[in-house]
């Protein structure tokens, strides 16, 4: 099994087309097809169904694909780490984060990191916690900031808690407050029109689970938005929303939950079987130092050790 064969296999799996895959990896199509057949002989199984021009992965192909992605990503990380040995100012970090963290804490955090290490190439991938774990496992990310997610592969991934983030209710200033009390109970959400995030969004799951634990289904005024859209829909008076206190901007009424309230734990996730490069370690240190010193909203607690 050769590295270039795995790269060709992943390209075909991604494009579902031999010609487009050959263009992507910049080889002649007959040569790519020959190498795929050689790989199939090596593993002892067909990797693709080839039926009337339609291409799909066989069960063997589905099994091999995540391993191939991981091997290629780990090989690139190894090359990158060697290239970085001479100078920390060079390198690459691929960071994943949930959309709410990208809206709230991350911009200032990454701005500080960029100022300290302008030569490090930084890429940001925004997705839900479960998808970020998959990307980490497959080697597509170096680090990920995830929320309250049970690890899907405890033998491969590790996490460290960074932050206990309070969840609050926001509403438009020109609309009546959701309750007349200073704080509201989760049961007070019953019958209130909620501006709800799209399916798969961590905050959607947290809100719906909290309502169901109180014995009712939440009422949606509108659903399907990302964080920025939810904030603007609330500002426009469409309804109320449950959001982390760290994303709240001026122009909203903020109502906290009565004790014990709602909160979530933000964690830094990484592959435990991969030695972090100097650039990756620098970002890990920057994240923990920032959160240890950050002026956080009331009710939100840093767990990071700077």
Please, what are the averages of pLDDT over each run of 10 residues along the chain (306 residues)? 89 91 90 92 90 86 92 82 61 90 88 88 91 90 87 80 93 93 94 92 91 96 90 95 90 92 92 86 90 84 78
Q: N- to C-terminal Cα distance for the chain?
A: 44
CA-to-CA dists, residue 16 to 8, 55, 56, 176, angstroms = 11, 5, 7, 54
User: What is the CATH T-level fold of the domain 3-64, as seen in this structure?
Assistant: Arc Repressor Mutant, subunit A (1.10.10)
pTM surpassing 0.85?
no
Matching fold, domains 3-64 and 79-162+265-302: no
Q: Which two tokens stand for residue 114?
A: 């960029």
Q: What angle do CA 114, 115, 118 make, to 5 degrees?
A: 60
Which residue in 170, 176, 192, 188 sits closest to 242, CA to CA? 170
For the chain, which residues make up each domain, given as ranges? 3-64, 79-162+265-302, 164-263
Helix axes 18-25, 29-43, angle to 10 degrees: 100
Asked whether 259 and 137 are in contact (CB, 8 A), the reply is no
Q: Which two tokens stand for residue 35?
A: 């190498």
In this structure, whether the domain defined by 79-162+265-302 belongs to CATH 3.40.190.10 is answered with yes
User: What is the CATH T-level fold of the domain 164-263, as seen in this structure?
Assistant: D-Maltodextrin-Binding Protein; domain 2 (3.40.190)
- Rg over alpha carbons for the chain, rounded to the nearest Å, is 23
């Amino acid at each position: 099994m050769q590295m270039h064969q795995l790269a060709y296999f992943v390209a075909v799996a991604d494009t579902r087309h031999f010609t487009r895959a050959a263009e992507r990896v910049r080889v002649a199509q007959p040569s790519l097809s020959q190498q795929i057949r050689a790989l199939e002989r090596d593993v002892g199984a067909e990797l693709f169904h080839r039926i009337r021009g339609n291409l799909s992965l066989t069960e063997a192909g589905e099994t091999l694909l995540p391993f191939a992605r991981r091997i290629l990503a780990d090989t690139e990380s190894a090359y990158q780490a060697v290239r970085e040995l001479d100078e920390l100012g060079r390198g690459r970090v691929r960071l994943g984060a949930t959309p709410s963290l990208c809206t709230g804490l991350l911009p200032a955090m990454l701005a500080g990191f960029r100022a300290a290490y302008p030569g490090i190439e930084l890429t940001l991938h925004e997705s839900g916690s479960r998808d970020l774990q998959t990307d980490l496992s497959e080697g597509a990310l170096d680090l990920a900031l995830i929320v309250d997610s049970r690890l899907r592969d405890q033998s491969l991934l590790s996490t460290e808690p960074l932050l206990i983030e309070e969840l609050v209710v926001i509403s438009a200033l020109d609309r009546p407050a959701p309750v007349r009390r200073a704080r509201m109970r989760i049961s007070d959400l019953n019958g209130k029109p909620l501006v709800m995030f799209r399916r798969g969004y961590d905050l959607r799951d947290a809100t719906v689970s909290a309502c169901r634990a109180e014995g009712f289904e939440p009422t949606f005024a509108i659903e399907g938005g990302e964080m920025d859209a939810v904030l603007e829909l609330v500002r426009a008076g469409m309804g109320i929303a449950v959001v982390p206190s760290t994303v709240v901007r001026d122009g909203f009424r903020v109502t906290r939950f009565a004790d014990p309230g709602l909160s979530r734990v933000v964690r830094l996730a990484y592959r435990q079987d991969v030695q972090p490069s100097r650039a990756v370690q620098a970002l890990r240190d920057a994240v923990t130092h920032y959160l240890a010193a950050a002026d956080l909203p009331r009710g939100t607690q840093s767990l990071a050790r700077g």
